[in-house]
Amino acid sequence: MKLVFSHGMESGPRGYKINRLALVAERHNLDVESIDYTDTKDADVRVDRLVSVLKQEPEPVILLGSSMGGYASVVASESVQTHAMFLLAPALYMPGFGKQEYASRSPHIEIVHGWADDVVPVDNVIRYARKTACCLHILSEDHSLNGSIEMIESLFDAFLVKVLSS
């Protein structure tokens, strides 16, 4: 199975979080692909790019999305079959983004967000988590979540154990 990572607006395809979480995924024998969105800050262009990549995959994938990449993952999962999504501070219900309501078909969704996130309000992810009845971890963190990477690695590892056995 493959893990497809979508980075946030100010990050890149080989940023701190994906480098750390890719090691976790590789321990579970997942191939890891990290899409480069650095040429655009348009969230919906990123969605189109992700959908294009996912349509070439022969089987459902696991999506890992951070911030705007979380938005791209959620919206893409509406039209392309995904096995699971692990989202880090996903930029949901944000002004100016094309989609404001979400209907993911992914059977496994887990979110990590920060109480002190000043980019994506925590209420936005609580709203989505309530709607999807997914697992939501809210940490004493800001938007980057970088101060809790060890905890996120543990959460991601446990998530992969669960979804790869289903």
- Total domain count for the chain? 1
Answer yes or no: is pLDDT of 15 > 90: no
Q: For 17-28, what is each residue's pLDDT tens digit?
A: 999 999 999 999
Domain containing residue 6: 2-164
Q: What's the whole-number average pLDDT of the chain?
A: 96
Task: Indicate whether 14 pLDDT > 90.
Answer: no
Q: Average of pLDDT values for 8-21?
A: 90
Q: Is the pLDDT of residue 52 over 90?
A: yes
Q: What is the mean pLDDT of residues 62-88?
A: 97
Cβ contact 85:60 at 8 Å: no
Distances from the Cα of 140 to the Cα of 71, 107, 114, 129, angstroms: 22, 27, 6, 18
Sheet holding 61-66, edge to edge: 31-35, 2-6, 61-66, 82-88, 109-114, 135-139
Q: What is the CATH number of the domain that holds 150?
A: 3.40.50.1820
74 touches 65 (CB < 8 A): yes
